Structure 1
Amino acid sequence: MREILLALHHAAASTGVVKAADLKLRAQSFDDYLVAGEQKSFFHVTLYMLARRTPQQKETLSVEIRKALVALLVDTHSLSVDIRDMDPDAYKKRLKG
């Protein structure tokens, strides 16, 4: 999984749409799931970012992340990417210095 996360980190950062230092990647596995009504393999990425990118920037991110997935997970049935906008007024964060 670390190899996949590193590849996704590189793919996203290489677009210039997001800064490498701002990326946080997490993986979650599922024991119970269905893909088209069957237990077929899948890998899904959801990328949340503050709502200030253009549709073209979001598409660029999505395409590059999907390319990285395709290169790494050649036998996986379903590969998908979802880019989500976060409300910059509602999102609050604290970093411990």
Structure 2
Amino acid sequence: MSELADREISALHDALDDEYQAWATYDQVIADFGEVMPFMNIRDAEARHIEALLVLFRHYGLAIPDNDWPGKVPRFASLLQACEAGVAAEVANAALYSR
């Protein structure tokens, strides 16, 4: 049984889903444009964020949802568009954690 309130569990799920989406987005950019910086480093950072959240899921005995984002994220026509989308996603990510 979890020691967390429903609101806290929901927040963990929202955070993990956001990190899954970010990882899949940066992974798609790398698939489309090759091993380009800064996307390699950012994808690695997203993987660390995911792992940190998974530690919490395990600690509290929560079922770990699958990452359903691969293949469902946008693709970009250029690295510039990918960078612009990445900035917007990181701003949204900060708002999620502020909430």
Q: Same fold (TM over 0.5)?
A: no
- Whichever structure has more helix as a proportion of its residues is 2
Normalised to the residue count of structure 2, the TM-score between the two structures is: 0.32
TM-score (norm 1): 0.32
Higher strand proportion (structure 1 or 2): 1
